[in-house]
């Protein structure tokens, strides 16, 4: 079974930076997508960023474009989310999630924000203070 371990959350002042990591294990192949979702109090869970293995396609929500960068270490099945210029609206519990799928499906799935993930990790809290 696929398992995900997220880390890197914490408390930071507005304008600061944090780096989240998501280590995955249990994949049956090297074809998968990994995404970061977040859920703020009273709001629905939303896709923040997504990346695919092999072809490394990426997606960013409009609210984080230019501030967040997602990257992947395929050899280690680990995805990173570098978050810069953090704003109070970025405060949320961040979850990493994944789904195995053939490379041919990556383009369409990633372009839609990677909704429909199969496995979820426990969240990590990011708090941005003003």
Number of neighbours of residue 95 by Cβ within 10 angstroms? 21
What mean pLDDT comes out for the span 115-120? 96
The overall longest dimension of the chain from CA atoms, in Å, is: 43
Q: Which residues contact 47 (CB under 8 A, 6 or more apart)?
A: 35, 36, 37, 59, 61, 113, 114, 115
Q: Using one digit for the tens of pLDDT, what is the confidence trace for 40-97? A: 999 999 999 999 998 999 999 999 999 999 999 999 999 999 999 999 999 999 999 9
pLDDT at position 93 is: 98
Closest to 31 in 3D by CA, of 58, 50, 52, 51: 52
């Amino acid at each position: 079974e696929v398992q995900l371990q997220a880390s890197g959350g914490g408390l930071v002042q507005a304008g600061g930076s944090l780096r989240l990591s998501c280590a995955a294990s249990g994949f049956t192949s090297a074809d998968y997508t990994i995404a970061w979702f977040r859920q703020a109090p009273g709001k629905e869970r939303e896709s923040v960023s997504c990346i695919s293995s092999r072809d490394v396609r990426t997606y960013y929500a409009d609210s984080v474009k230019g501030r967040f960068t997602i990257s992947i270490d395929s050899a280690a099945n680990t995805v990173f989310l570098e978050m810069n210029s953090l704003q109070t609206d970025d405060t949320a519990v961040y979850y990493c999630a994944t789904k195995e799928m053939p490379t041919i499906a990556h383009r369409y799935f990633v372009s839609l924000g990677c909704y429909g993930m199969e496995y979820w990790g426990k969240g990590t809290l990011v708090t941005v203070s003003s």
